[in-house]
Amino acid sequence: MDKIRIVGGNKLHGTLPISGAKNAALPLMIASLLTEETLTLENVPRLRDVAQLMQILSNHGVDYSVDGKRAGQNLLAGQTLHLSASGIVDTTAPYDLVSKMRASFWVIGPLLARMGQARVSLPGGCAIGTRPVDFFIDGLKALGANIDIDRGYIVADTNGGLKGGRVVFPKVSVGATHTIMMAATLAKGETVIENAAREPEVTDLANCLVGMGAKIEGIGTDTLHIQGVEGLHAYRHPVVADRIETGTYAMAVAMTGGEVVLEGARADLLQSAFEVLSRTGTEITEVENGIKIFRNGNGIEPVDIVTDPFPGFPTDLQAQFMALMTRAKGTSKITETIFENRFMHVQELARLGARISLDGQVATVHGVDHLIGAPVMATDLRASVSLVIAGLVAEGETEVSRVYHLDRGFERLEDKLSACGAVIERISA
Ligand code: UD1
């Protein structure tokens, strides 16, 4: 299996292109199931999760093609995907495909809305907590679906199609909001979703659905009103910039010092994380082509954070921020409120010399003067990248194994960082 080898100590300088958001691209691709016509998505990142989802969608009967390279385009540019679900031939999403990626469970919404039936394996995904699917089941039932669980599968059907209903989520869920919103676009009558997720990726999906002919009001708020329509149609949509990739590289620059322009990044999607980062002593400036991140050699101020649904501090940046705090000039507290088991990176950061104590959902990070390179291993996507950030300042060599987690969500990470001066390379096994 591939490894990433890093020799710490270099500051980052230069321009780093930000990809389209993985967490927007996945639901947007799934939305192609809602129409017979072609959905074209621009700026789709080249990631393992995207390839995996293409495989799952093609099993349902979705044809897809990818545009080749265009004049003047470099290899770091996103791809353009054409997805056409003119005929859905299979409404089963099997265990061997769904277990590799939790988001593929979301096909249940469009399949049920368009075909009146779906048989979808219960999901797998990152090892960051139990991640149940009760909100999906209750939401689809509120839209009139009959649901059974049979040998690891959710088996759902409708009597004559989905009907609009009122869905109140007990807790904010990105995936359940995507799924119920997609299902409701083709349901008869009005659906109201309360306590909906407001993450920019939900907004991106909602805007694309509206472009496809859906009627959705309240986009960007926690209450969505959706009037069902007879059918959706072809549309072309660019995937929003990846705010988690943006925040990750911003923290990498805050960690190493230096000055990097994150090209194509959008500051409005990351206000809480940038507010925290500026309190650490990092300068963040909007520039014409993105966001400039700058930190001089004055050290990193400790800041406490609590993760929260958007617009709060994203759980997907918690591990990266913890890596940054390992080198702060004091103690910080990091509270995780979204997932109950999202501190798997603590043990590995400790292998690099970090001093972190855990008490339930709160990690206390005592900043140290030095980290020292070591072999480390990650257990999920964002945890892996936190080890890379730590490796960028650790003395000597850090080797991160299980790189397949990184490849799920970070496009050409080692190329992007080495182009900014980091000593980082992939060692292919
Ligand atoms: C999405 C993101 C993930 C991010 C997370 C929270 C994608 C592909 N993944 O994951 O990167 O970390 O949002 O921002 O977009 N829950 C239930 N019952 C349910 C559904 C969820 O209890 O039926 C709970 C979860 O266990 C968790 C919380 O709700 O505690 C939020 O999870 P959710 O927003 O659903 O996460 P995902 O959509 O899976």
Active-site choice (24, 81, 113, 126): 126
- The answer to whether 126 is a known catalytic residue is yes
Task: Tell me how far the alpha carbon of residue 133 lies from the centroid of ligand 1, in angstroms.
Answer: 9
Give tens-digit pLDDT for 169-226.
999 999 999 999 999 999 999 999 999 999 999 999 999 999 999 999 999 999 999 9
Ligand 1 atom with minimal separation from the 197 CA: 34
pLDDT score recorded for residue 77 = 74
CB distance 136 to ligand 1 below 6 Å: yes
CA distance 4 to 403: 7
Ligand 1 atom nearest to CA at 340: 30
Six-digit token string for 185: 């676009």
Residue-wise pLDDT tens digits, 263-315: 999 999 999 999 999 999 999 999 999 999 999 878 999 999 999 999 999 99
The domain locations on the chain are 3-18+241-427, 22-238
Shortest-distance atom of ligand 1 to CA 137: 23
- Between CA 72 and CA 206 the distance in angstroms is 31
How many angstroms does the Cα of residue 397 sit away from the middle of ligand 1?
A: 35
Judge if 3-18+241-427 and 22-238 fold alike in CATH terms: yes
Q: CA-CA distance, 179 to 109, in Å (whole number)?
A: 5
Q: Give the pLDDT confidence of 305-329 residue by residue, as tens digits.
A: 999 999 999 999 999 999 999 999 9
- 2, 425 contact by CB (below 8 A): no
Lowest pLDDT segment from 11-15, 47-51, 97-101, 342-346: 97-101
Note the pLDDT of residue 125. 46
Residue 135 CB less than 6 A away from ligand 1: yes
Instruction: Work out the pLDDT band at 76, boundaries 50, 70, 90.
Output: low
Does the pLDDT value for residue 124 go beyond 80?
A: no
Q: Which CATH superfamily is domain 22-238 in?
A: Enolpyruvate transferase domain (3.65.10.10)
pLDDT at 277: 98
- pLDDT value of residue 126: 45
Q: Which CATH superfamily is domain 3-18+241-427 in?
A: Enolpyruvate transferase domain (3.65.10.10)
Residue 75 has what pLDDT? 66
Kindly state if the Cβ of 339 falls inside 6 Å of ligand 1: yes
Position 168, amino acid: V
Q: CB within 8 A of 321, min separation 6: which ones? A: 251, 273, 276, 305, 313, 334
- Tokens at 335, concatenated: 């509270």
Q: Whose CA is nearest to atom 3 of ligand 1?
A: 316
Cα 246 to Cα 148, 260, 265, 283, distances in angstroms: 41, 11, 6, 14
Q: Tell me: pLDDT of 128 over 60.
A: no
Cα(419) to ligand 1 centroid in Å equals 33
